[in-house]
């Protein structure tokens, strides 16, 4: 028996292949949209994929479960509570999948969502591992506030937080201390708030070190779980619905993305310019937002641009453009690309901030802090700054005055590139817009 963990670093997502070496059969858990790695793994082990388990309809990425079923003929398993619109077999408390010397046992573990399940792996009659989806993470548990208006079943965050309390204690904590814990996400995900960098653990270690498993009352747990959860990107509810339905095959949808620059661009649509900020500032097209290609491109694209909102996508070369289209498809946004094309420069430019001039006269500038609320609370920087998190900036531009030059900052420069370009698009020639970039590091208190 082998357990293979697959990692998508950009989305901090873990998926799994469970291989029965004696029967050459594989069951997958929470697969990514790009199914290539799973097919390659099966081929390398001369094995057949017989099943795909969805622990819940994911909010932060599009799953490849439907395409895997179409390609391999494997059965998709999920909770009956999910209300799946694709061919599937329900997998809830008491249900099992047996192959080789492996038995996979379903546990209903609501809390992150009403339809969440965990899967206990029994090998040779002994529990060896549990795949916890977004219920139990390493060092944390899943957030309970994503299903108030999304999915087949909806529930208030307080109700789901209470369910999480009991799922952890009445189901997962009953497992042996030596059972390995394999979650669907690691540090960096927005599906939790305090995850460890570790990619697996054991029940005993989580009992000792995971705050959510401590001996506290339900009331204390609910209060702690609901406090300071990260923001909810615009695309999350859209992905829940898409995963409930099942996404189209990846290569099919990628082939439909227009990859030639239109003769005339629609000025009402934003251009997502993923080039490095240095190139962007030297020259870009009007209406461009500088969401640089990087580890969190998908997350910020889906936080700034709303589902169903058409946009152009541009990069500095064809290879980068192809990669960006694939990243866009991870969150199901490929359908909203009006056209994707290469851009080398443009007539719009952004002036560099004279940091010495700023430092000597900060009152002469309107400072916009686009960090998240928790970051601002933890480390205030400028006393007179206007605080608007990046994910709310487009909707709150009316709160910004333009009687002074505007300086936009975050914590390191990545988000401020996007934020300053959003403000510059809105304000045009009304006032000068600056991106503080990585200069902010000299102002952050130790």
DSSP calls for 219-260: HHHHHHHHTTPPP--TTHHHHHHHHHH-PPPHHHHHHTS--S
| Number of Cβ within a 10 Å radius of residue 442 | 9
Residue 202 confidence class, pLDDT cut points 50, 70, 90: very high
- Tell me the average pLDDT of the chain: 95
Assess whether pLDDT exceeds 80 at residue 446: no
Question: Could you tell me whether strands 75-78 and 48-53 are parallel, antiparallel, or unpaired per DSSP bridges?
Answer: parallel
187-191, 213-217, 413-417, 421-425: range with lowest mean pLDDT: 187-191
Give 133-153 pLDDT, tens digit per residue. 999 999 999 999 988 788 777
Place of tokens 């001369």: 46
- Mean pLDDT, residues 93-113 taken together: 97
30-44, 115-129, 193-207, 431-445: range with lowest mean pLDDT: 193-207
pLDDT at residue number 127: 97
pLDDT at residue number 148: 78
25-29, 82-86, 193-197, 339-343: range with lowest mean pLDDT: 193-197
pLDDT at residue number 400: 97
Assess whether pLDDT exceeds 90 at residue 197: no
Residue 155 confidence class, pLDDT cut points 50, 70, 90: confident
pLDDT at residue number 222: 96
Q: What percent of the chain is predicted at pLDDT more than 70?
A: 99
pLDDT at residue number 282: 97
Full-model pTM? 0.94
Please, is 405 exposed, middle or buried when counting C-beta atoms within 10 Å of its C-beta (0-12, 13-18, 19+)? middle
Give 3-32 pLDDT, tens digit per residue. 999 999 999 999 999 999 999 999 999 999
pLDDT at residue number 206: 96
- Mean pLDDT, residues 351-357 taken together: 94
Q: Which strand (E) or helix (H) includes residue 318?
A: helix 318-330
CB 314 within 8 A of CB 272: yes
Residue 198 confidence class, pLDDT cut points 50, 70, 90: confident
Q: Distance of CA 266 to CAs 187, 223, 246, 261, Å? A: 39, 47, 31, 11
Question: Could you tell me whether strands 13-20 and 25-29 are parallel, antiparallel, or unpaired per DSSP bridges?
Answer: antiparallel
pLDDT at residue number 247: 97
- Mean pLDDT, residues 257-281 taken together: 96
Name which residue leads in pLDDT, 309 or 428. Answer: 309
- Mean pLDDT, residues 351-364 taken together: 93
Assess whether pLDDT exceeds 90 at residue 374: no
pLDDT at residue number 119: 98
- Mean pLDDT, residues 284-312 taken together: 96
Give 56-83 pLDDT, tens digit per residue. 999 999 999 999 999 999 999 999 999 9
Assess whether pLDDT exceeds 80 at residue 330: yes
Residue 189 confidence class, pLDDT cut points 50, 70, 90: confident
Assess whether pLDDT exceeds 80 at residue 191: no
| HSE value, Cβ hemisphere, 13 Å, CA-based, for 13 | 22
Distance CA 64, CA 247 (A): 7
Assess whether pLDDT exceeds 90 at residue 411: yes
Ordered structural domains, the chain, with CATH? 2-238 (3.60.15.10), 250-342 (3.40.250.10), 355-442 (3.40.250.10)
Assess whether pLDDT exceeds 90 at residue 196: no
């Amino acid at each position: 028996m082998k357990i293979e963990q697959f990692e998508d670093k950009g989305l901090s997502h873990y998926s799994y292949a469970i291989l029965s070496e004696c029967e050459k059969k594989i069951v997958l858990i929470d697969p990514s949209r790009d199914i290539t790695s799973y097919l390659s793994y099966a081929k390398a082990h001369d094995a057949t994929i017989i099943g795909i388990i969805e622990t819940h309809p994911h909010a932060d990425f599009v799953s490849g479960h439907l395409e895997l079923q179409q390609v391999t003929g494997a059965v998709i398993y999920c909770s009956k509570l999910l209300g799946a619109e694709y061919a599937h077999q329900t997998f809830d408390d008491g249900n099992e999948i047996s192959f080789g010397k492996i038995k996979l046992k379903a546990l209903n573990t609501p809390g992150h969502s009403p339809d969440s399940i965990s899967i206990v792996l029994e090998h040779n009659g002994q529990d060896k591992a549990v795949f916890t989806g977004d219920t139990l993470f390493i060092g944390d548990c899943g957030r309970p506030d994503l299903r108030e208006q999304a999915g087949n079943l909806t529930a208030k965050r307080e109700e789901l937080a209470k369910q999480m309390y009991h799922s952890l204690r009445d189901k997962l904590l009953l497992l042996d201390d030596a059972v390995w814990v394999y979650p669907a996400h690691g540090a960096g995900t927005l599906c939790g708030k305090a995850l460890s960098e570790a990619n697996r653990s054991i029940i005993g270690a989580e009992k000792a070190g995971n705050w959510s498993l401590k001996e506290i009352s339900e009331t204390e747990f609910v209060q702690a779980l609901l406090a300071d959860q990260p923001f909810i990107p615009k695309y999350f509810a859209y992905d829940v619905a898409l995963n409930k339905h099942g996404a189209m095959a990846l290569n099919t949808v990628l082939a439909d993305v227009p990859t030639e620059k239109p003769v005339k661009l629609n000025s009402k649509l934003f251009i997502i310019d993923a080039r490095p900020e240095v190139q962007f500032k030297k020259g870009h097209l009007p209406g461009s937002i500088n969401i640089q290609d990087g580890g969190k491109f998908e997350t910020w694209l889906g936080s700034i641009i709303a589902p169903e909102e058409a946009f152009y996508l541009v990069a500095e070369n064809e290879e980068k453009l192809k990669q960006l289209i694939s990243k866009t498809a991870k969150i199901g946004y490929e359908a909203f690309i009006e056209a994707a094309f290469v851009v080398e420069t443009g007539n719009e430019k952004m002036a560099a901030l004279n940091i010495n001039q700023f430092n000597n006269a900060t009152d002469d500038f309107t400072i916009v802090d686009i960090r998240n609320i928790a970051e601002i609370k933890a480390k205030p920087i400028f006393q007179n700054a206007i605080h608007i998190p990046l994910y709310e900036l487009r909707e709150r531009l009316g709160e910004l005055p333009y009687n002074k030059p505007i300086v936009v900052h975050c914590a390191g420069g990545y988000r401020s590139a996007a934020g300053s370009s959003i403000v510059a698009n809105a304000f045009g020639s009304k006032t000068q817009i600056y991106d503080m970039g990585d200069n902010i590091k000299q102002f952050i208190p130790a």
